[in-house]
């Protein structure tokens, strides 16, 4: 009986160790030289984050006005933030989020969470290469986008290369102040059922 128990424990230990080793090898850890991010540094990750955001807002029609907010860095990750200056009415937020969610799904992003909250509706997703992306509505119905990289090689990070398509603000960014005939309308889109 002791021999069977000892053999079972040994097999379990080998299986767990193998799973951990395989998991580490596929995680894209740049230090082990494997995975899609092996040669990416924080500047490259910031540029990838910018590209994810630009592709997303490029799908939103009619166009919305947005500005760069800030960039933060951790020990091996980088996060970019953007603020939407277009007023998106409560009646059109579901449509806005629906456009974003459909594009992310079409881009093979994994939808991690959809919060249909009336006050702070949010969608969080992960790209195939491990970047986290989210859109949420906050105070005064202002929409915010955020992209966070997985762990990459440490480096300096420059600001975004592309200029914002919205006006520039000195100091604090105000609440949304750009009216859109479509996004700011206080009626549901005719003939559609809003997405969460």
Tens-place pLDDT, residues 118-127? 889 999 999 9
* Domain that includes residue 10, residue range: 2-32
Minimum mean pLDDT among 102-106, 114-118, 192-196: which range?
192-196
pLDDT of residue 3: 44
Q: Are residues 73 and 145 in the same domain?
A: yes
What is the reported pTM?
Answer: 0.79
The rounded distance, in Å, linking the Cα atoms of 55 and 133 is: 12
- For 52, 53, 82, 128, the CA distances from 134, given in Å and listed in that order, are 11, 10, 11, 15
Q: Are residues 43 and 27 in the same domain?
A: no
Residue 103 C-beta-side C-alpha neighbours within 13 Å: 20
φ, ψ of residue 67 to 5 degrees: the values are -135, 155
Q: Are residues 64 and 132 in the same domain?
A: yes
Q: Are residues 120 and 27 in the same domain?
A: no
Domain count of the fold of the chain: 2
Q: Are residues 24 and 82 in the same domain?
A: no
Q: Are residues 108 and 155 in the same domain?
A: yes
Q: Domain with 171 in it: what CATH number?
A: 3.30.2030
Whether the per-residue pLDDT at 8 is higher than 70: the answer is no
Of all residues in the chain, the percent with pLDDT exceeding 70 is 79
Q: Are residues 78 and 143 in the same domain?
A: yes
Q: Are residues 78 and 45 in the same domain?
A: yes
Give the mean pLDDT of the chain: 84
Across 71-93, average pLDDT: 97
Q: Are residues 81 and 153 in the same domain?
A: yes
Q: Are residues 132 and 184 in the same domain?
A: yes
Q: Are residues 114 and 147 in the same domain?
A: yes
Beta bridge partners of 110: 126
pLDDT of residue 43: 98
Each residue's pLDDT tens digit, 12-71: 333 333 333 323 333 344 444 445 577 999 999 999 999 999 999 999 999 999 999 999
Q: Are residues 43 and 28 in the same domain?
A: no
């Amino acid at each position: 009986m002791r021999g069977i128990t000892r053999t079972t424990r040994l097999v379990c230990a080998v299986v767990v160790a193998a799973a951990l080793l395989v998991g580490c090898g596929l995680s894209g850890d740049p230090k082990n030289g494997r995975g899609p991010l092996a040669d990416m540094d924080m500047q490259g990750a910031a540029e990838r984050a910018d590209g994810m955001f630009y592709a997303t807002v490029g799908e939103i029609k009619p166009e919305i006005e947005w500005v760069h907010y800030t960039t933060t860095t951790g020990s091996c990750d980088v996060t970019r933030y953007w603020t939407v200056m277009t007023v998106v009415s409560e009646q059109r937020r579901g449509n806005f989020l629906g456009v974003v969610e459909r594009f992310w799904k079409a881009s093979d992003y994994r939808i991690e969470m959809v919060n249909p909250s009336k006050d702070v509706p949010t969608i969080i997703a992960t790209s195939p290469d491990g970047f986290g992306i989210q859109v949420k509505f906050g105070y005064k119905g202002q929409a915010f986008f955020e992209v966070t990289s997985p762990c990459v090689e440490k480096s300096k990070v420059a600001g975004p290369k592309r200029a914002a398509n919205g006006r520039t603000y000195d100091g604090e960014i105000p609440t949304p102040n750009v009216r859109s005939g479509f996004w700011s309308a206080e009626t549901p889109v005719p003939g559609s059922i809003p997405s969460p």
